Amino acid sequence: MLQIMNRWLLPEYIADVLPAEARKVETLRRAILDLYQSYGYELVAPPILEFLDSLLTGTGSDLNLQTFKLVDQLSGRTLGLRADMTPQVARIDAHLLNRKGVTRLCYAGSVAHARTPVGSSAREELQLGAEIYGCATWEADFEAVSLLLETLRVAGLNKVYLDLSHAGVLEGILDGQVKDKGEVEALYSLLQSKDRPRLAIWSQCLPTKSAQALMALTELNGPCAQVLADARKSLPKHPLIDEALAQLENLAAATNAFKVNVELSIDLADLRGYQYHSGVMFAAYVDQLPQPIARGGRYDHVGQAFGRSRPATGFSMDLLTLANLAPLAQRKPAIVAPWTLEAGLASKIAELRVAGEVVIQALGGDDVETAEYLCDRELVRQDSAWVVKKK
């Protein structure tokens, strides 16, 4: 006997967002975008589908593996369902806006992953982010970090752990000695896992100083001042390394002076997204989540891949995860009104709604059942007028 699959079942790791939760997400989205507007960020909304070669321009192989692919029936070309909005926003800055000065852009939209990301339980996210284009100095990185911390504060997450790193450190250590893309991917995987035995084997082909520096990276993590001091002692003298450590020092000092409850650390082996980033990298953690709640950093080369070299830095996060961690909002009070054509009822309901009240009319006399609203009052006829009374 054939087993009939329920037609309403969703694909694996894809879920509906139900009432109350959806309202919480939308309320938070509006509050955060209003925050970004107060900083001067302009909202953009890229399409969810693009030609694949455009969608993956300037990105690493990880994003290619995460991208759903399909054939466009109009052109016959391969389309991609976006897994990350950042390259799209970089394309908008490079080719559509084409401004010379600093541009601040923000966005909020759905992304889909062909594979469930590590540490996640969903293949669809509501990606929220902010990007700064046209400023190559560490001050832009600090603005991105401070805006990220303000975002988490708006969501009610007041204790944050911020982990800093810098792609320039590894670039300075290698100094062009490793060019094979596969080899670089293997290296950054070993550094990420801090697999010292295999890292020692991998680095045998490098000069002794470079090999020793790679091994040192696995232990250069902890409080900022201590890590920076140790890095200057154990890493080779190189302009890229010196500049990277100076930027991290400036960023740490400015962030510590920012009046928020944040615990700063540096991990110079944390190179997730190394091929994507080109400078400062940062990840924000909160107590309720084992993986980062947000990631960001500098990615200057993405604009170059679009034919217009443009400094860029920013961050992104999943708004659904953020809303799930945010403190529970109280149910909004509501008024229950009868469904009737009696004189004056419609105008009274309109008056209450204009005043900001939620008025729900009970269809067919049934009780109102809702998870989002607390029906604590009712609209009743008293003499010749409609009045609101507590239930």
Strands (E), the chain: 42-43, 49-51, 68-71, 78-81, 103-112, 124-133, 160-166, 221-222, 262-267, 280-285, 294-298, 312-318, 332-338, 358-362, 373-382, 385-390
Q: What are phi and psi of 90, to 5 degrees?
A: -65, -40
CB count within 10 Å of CB 201 equals 11
Distance CA(184)–CA(192), nearest Å, equals 12
- Burial of 284 per CB tally in 10 Å (0-12, 13-18, 19+): buried
Number of H helices, E strands in the chain: 14, 16
Q: What are phi and psi of 130, to 5 degrees?
A: -145, 140
84 is in an annotated binding site: yes
- Max distance between CA atoms of the chain, in angstroms, equals 94
Contact between 4 and 114 (Cβ < 8 Å): no
272 is in an annotated binding site: yes
**365 secondary structure, DSSP code:** G
86 is in an annotated binding site: yes
Contact between 359 and 379 (Cβ < 8 Å): yes
- Residues facing 284 on adjacent strands: 162, 294
Give the residue ranges of the annotated binding site.
Answer: 84-86, 127, 131, 272
Give the residue ranges of the annotated binding site for L-histidine.
Answer: 84-86, 127, 131, 272
